Amino acid sequence: MKYILNYWNIQDIPKVSNNFNRLKCDKLEFKGLRYPEPHKRLEEFSNNYDGDYIIIFTNDLVVKKKNLETLVETLKIYNYPVLSGVCTPVRKHLPNTLNVCMEPLQGTDYKWVNKGDYTGIHEVGFAGMPLTAIHKSVFKHFKFYLKDRKNTALDRRLCAWCVEKQIPIRVDFDNIMEHLDIHPDTSNN
């Protein structure tokens, strides 16, 4: 199985970047790029990438070697079209939540799963890019960049598109990462 790890390093967060640098795999890092450049570059890359999976994680997620190994080993066995780990907390003021909703999102109504409510792998309606593996059967058709459209909230767009296309989104509730909940300025200002 061939995969590449895509990390959008908008700002240097040592706890994140130090762990990223320890991961031994093919990497595609977008460093210091502001919206919508990472979307454009991922779109261009995905059109030409011949690997099996693109694995994306957010700029404020601490991904350790074990997290990546767990994800890759599961993909080797099950070949899921979309598989994510989970992270906690969703936000600092919601310390016991995971960035997953069992049902598809309805507007801005997030019904977060509580940590400990699920174990193992389950199909979900929304996963907020916590080390998300996207198979070529998905990334060859999904548009990471949409010209003349709002391209932020890639997790929302990907999950809504998968739900619309009836592509299952699976989450491994035992593959937990730390979300630092740091929000850099991603504008072009």
Percent of the chain clearing pLDDT 70 (strictly above) = 95
- Identify the CA nearest to 130 among candidates 150, 149, 151, 112: 112
Paired tokens of 124: 């979900």
pLDDT of 57 higher than 60: yes
DSSP 32: S
Share the mean pLDDT of the chain.
92
**Tokens 């706890």, residue located:** 15
Give the pLDDT band of residue 58 (cuts 50, 70, 90): confident
Model pLDDT for residues 130-173, shown as the tens digit of each residue: 899 999 999 999 999 988 777 668 999 999 999 999 999 999 99
Looking at residue 184, what is its pLDDT? 57
170 neighbors 114 (Cβ within 8 angstroms)? no
Pick from 61, 19, 26, 24: nearest CA to 45: 26
Classify domain 3-179 at the CATH topology level. Spore Coat Polysaccharide Biosynthesis Protein SpsA; Chain A (3.90.550)
Confidence check: pLDDT of 186 > 50: no
Query: Got the DSSP string for 120-188?
Result: SEEEESEE--SSEEEEHHHHTTS-S--TTS----HHHHHHHHHHHTT--EEEEEEEEEEE-------S-
Per DSSP, 114 falls in state E
Classify strands 3-9 and 169-179 as parallel, antiparallel or unpaired: unpaired
Structure tokens at 115: 């940590």
pLDDT confidence of 188, banded at 50, 70, 90?
very low
pLDDT at residue 82 in the model: 98
- Kindly report, residue by residue over 116-139, the tens digit of the pLDDT: 999 999 999 999 988 999 999 999
Rounded Cα distance, 100 and 78, in Å: 21
Q: Which two tokens stand for residue 34?
A: 């502001």
- Report the C-alpha gap between 35 and 93 in whole angstroms: 26
